[in-house]
């Protein structure tokens, strides 16, 4: 595989998108680019753009599409993205997708769009069992019959908590927002000529899903190794 590649990875909250991004990073040798982590890293860097992002985030407002795209353009030029990169949950708007499209074409980067599809009832059930350690931040996916006294962190024995955004009604609202936000972005990418693949991810293991994605990449661009 000589062409530089981009995987655009979509998936609703609880679809396992983050897990897939990490597995694909390790399997393909691509950089994993999460916009949330990227924004936080730029704030810590403290340059002019990072300071501007920090001011915006402190107000609770959304970072402008132009700023997010600039951060992505800078990020994909770092050495770890020389072979390829995975965009995790980005682009989130049609405007972001339009600007990204221009950048990818200008750089001659081959692109595959992966949409992880999971029944929303499965997601709600899955996230209802998710707990987090308030001390170290470790996330656990617990079976529904786990006793309260067993819901403690294996690292520091702190009692695990339910994150506010994992409450069932909050999850439903997040899923509704995702549907509204993502559908037009996927339609734009399809109309722009990108290959978009929907992958059923509800009842399969992460490694089975990774193997399918790797096969798609190989089928589109040749051997991924």
Q: Which of 40, 70, 83, 92 is catalytic?
A: 92
- Does the annotation count 163 as an active-site position? yes
Catalytic, 174? Answer yes
Q: What is the DSSP string of the chain?
A: --S-EEEEEE--TTSSHHHHHHHHHHHH-PEEEEHHHHHHHHHHHTSHHHHHHHHHHHHTPPPPHHHHHHHHHHHTTSGGGSSEEEEES---SHHHHHHHHHHHHHHT-EEEEEEEE--HHHHHHHHHTEEE-TTT--EEE--TT--GGG-B-TTT-PBPB--GGGSHHHHHHHHHHHHHHHHHHHHHHHHTT-EEEEEE-SSS-HHHHHHHHHHHHHHHHS---
Q: Identify the residue whose tokens are 């074409």.
A: 105
Instruction: Calculate the CA 20 to chain-centre distance.
Output: 9
The answer to whether 130 is a known catalytic residue is yes
**Is 92 known to be catalytic?**
yes
Of 40, 174, 195, 204, catalytic: 174
Token pair of 184, please? Answer: 């037009």
Q: Is 4 a catalytic residue?
A: no
Catalytic pick among 52, 70, 83, 130? 130
Catalytic residue among 27, 70, 83, 163: 163
The residue annotated as part of the active site, out of 17, 25, 42, 131, is 17
- Tokens representing 77 are 């030029």
What residues act catalytically?
17, 92, 130, 163, 174
């Amino acid at each position: 595989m000589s062409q530089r590649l981009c995987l655009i990875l979509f998936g609703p909250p609880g679809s396992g998108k983050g897990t897939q991004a990490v597995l694909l990073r390790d399997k393909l040798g691509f950089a994993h680019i999460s916009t949330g982590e990227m924004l936080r890293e730029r704030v810590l860097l403290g340059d002019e753009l990072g300071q501007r992002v920090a001011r915006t985030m402190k107000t609770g407002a959304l970072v402008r599409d132009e700023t997010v795209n600039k951060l992505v353009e800078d990020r994909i030029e770092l050495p770890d993205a020389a072979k390829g990169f995975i965009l995790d949950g980005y682009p989130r708007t049609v405007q972001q997708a339009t600007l990204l499209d221009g950048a990818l074409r200008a750089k001659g980067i081959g692109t595959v769009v992966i949409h992880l599809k999971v029944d929303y009832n499965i997601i709600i059930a899955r996230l209802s069992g998710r707990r987090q350690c308030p001390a170290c931040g470790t996330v656990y996916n617990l079976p529904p019959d786990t006793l309260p006294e067993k819901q403690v962190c294996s690292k520091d024995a702190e009692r695990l908590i339910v994150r506010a955004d994992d409450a069932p009604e909050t999850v439903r609202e997040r899923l509704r927002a995702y549907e509204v936000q993502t559908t037009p972005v996927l339609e734009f990418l399809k109309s722009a000529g990108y290959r978009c693949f929907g992958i059923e991810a509800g009842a399969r293991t992460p490694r089975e899903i990774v193997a399918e994605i790797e096969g798609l990449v190989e089928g589109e661009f040749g051997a991924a190794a």
